[in-house]
Structure 1
């Protein structure tokens, strides 16, 4: 494992819960709808696309001090490369392993539909406004976030070693090195 260079201001240690706050890929979904609205009209109503644009504005900031009050010990903002890149970077910054379930990562239904339409991986799609948080008690953190109207879920644990393990339904594998963001399959750089 190669160390990811970033300023570690919090703590990440084995046994902690990994929490996702916000929706994976939502920012990328909004950008695709903005740029491909004409193309998407053949599959989705104007009203549905307008709702995606209106509801896709949740922007959580990666300010650890704010999230510490809710019980978080570290925070990584997801952005280009999506939630999977944020998980990779956080694990690499602390040189520790992680284990998580892909199915538990919150994804808005609109992101699923747009991703299916263009054959995109929503977990590798721009996720500005979505955060990866660590906490000793992820359940309490999720409850605190939900009280503020923020969708959140415990998706896994920080582990000993350096393995980055993903479970998806009955299969288990390793998180692959981040690749180019999925949005560039649709939008020119």
Structure 2
């Protein structure tokens, strides 16, 4: 339990999942390993909920950092196929967090929420000892919609096509090039290209566009553990086998250079903004076209088969036990 990042699946299954308080009849989907959200059924409507920590990185620019801080939790709702519409925020700030800094971050939060049609319905904002920048609280997002529109990450079926947007490690490339530009040993042009990958992290509108375009049967945002971990969670949850053509997976400029510089496998590091989707056979290209119309690279990369596991070019893809980007960040921050 001393490793950074999400707790391991074994601890979750032994300690967290069996002990969730009262057993409410209107909870149709509770906390589940590999699933981004929970679902309540209220009055014939589905209420999708998701919770995430808030990370604000001033190096991105304060307003931009505020936007990205909430996009991750809003994306966790959007991959359900239901639009996020409400947001609660708890900001636990370091004692020296300045009002001007908070105001700039909040402008970004307000702007992004407004653009997505999301209203902040409750907040708690305060300064407290022992808080470490840049992890400054948590957020809970909700979306209300028709239960028939729900898409779960474990809904893939044999015969479905597999679609990947954005490609692996855009998040890591963008953030590491922004936070540690002088420590990567890369030329300035490559660093500048990689820094643009931060623009690939927001995924709310991509998820909703994909859902509208085709018969999406499963969708997942490739966060910690990257596309290797995310695909494994989807295949394991559905009890199926994923067969991937590795060469078909899009790779954004700057990603390979940064991942090589920090000695990580791009398939195994956090990739917020990368959507992993199973789509009914024949619908994959429609989803790809809808994403590309938005300027997001995407491709049909494989098929769902009977069986189990994830295979790329015939080789088993194992999920990482721990996301290696945490240790890479620790090394660079101390160098």
Greater alpha carbon shift after TM alignment, 178-187 vs 2-11: 2-11
Where in structure 1 do 4 or more consecutive aligned residues deviate above 4 Å?
A: 62-66
Secondary structure at the aligned position of 2:183 is classed as: helix
Is there any run of 5+ residues in structure 2 with no aligned partner, and where?
Answer: 1-9, 14-31, 39-79, 81-149
2:186 aligns to what? 43
Higher-RCO chain (CA-CA 8 Å, sequence separation at least 6): 1
User: 2:324 pairs with 172, 182, 185, which one?
Assistant: 182
Q: Distance in 2 between matches of 1:63 and 1:103?
A: 22
Kindly tell me the number of residue pairs found equivalent between the two proteins. 182
- Larger proportion of strand: 2
Residue 143 of structure 1, CA deviation: 1.6
Q: Distance in 2 between matches of 1:140 and 1:74?
A: 15
Larger Rg: 2
1:165 aligns to what? 311
Q: Distance in 2 between matches of 1:51 and 1:63?
A: 22
Matched, 1:86 2:221: no
2:164 aligns to what? 20
Residue 150 of structure 1, CA deviation: 1.2
Matched, 1:96 2:250: no
Secondary structure at the aligned position of 1:107 is classed as: coil
Q: Distance in 2 between matches of 1:49 and 1:151?
A: 20
Matched, 1:73 2:230: no
Secondary structure at the aligned position of 2:276 is classed as: strand
Return closer, same or farther for 1:37/1:163 CA change in 2, 3 Å cut-off.
closer
Q: When the two structures are superposed, what TM-score results if normalisation uses the length of structure 2? A: 0.50
Q: When the two structures are superposed, what TM-score results if normalisation uses the length of structure 1? A: 0.84
1:141 aligns to what? 287
Return closer, same or farther for 1:18/1:107 CA change in 2, 3 Å cut-off.
same
Q: Distance in 1 between matches of 2:292 and 2:279?
A: 15
Conserved? CA contact 2:161–2:279, under 8 Å = yes
Q: Distance in 1 between matches of 2:309 and 2:228?
A: 14
Conserved? CA contact 1:64–1:74, under 8 Å = no
Is there any run of 5+ residues in structure 1 with no aligned partner, and where?
Answer: none
Conserved? CA contact 1:22–1:60, under 8 Å = no
1:61 aligns to what? 204
Conserved? CA contact 1:88–1:178, under 8 Å = no
Residue 64 of structure 1, CA deviation: 5.8
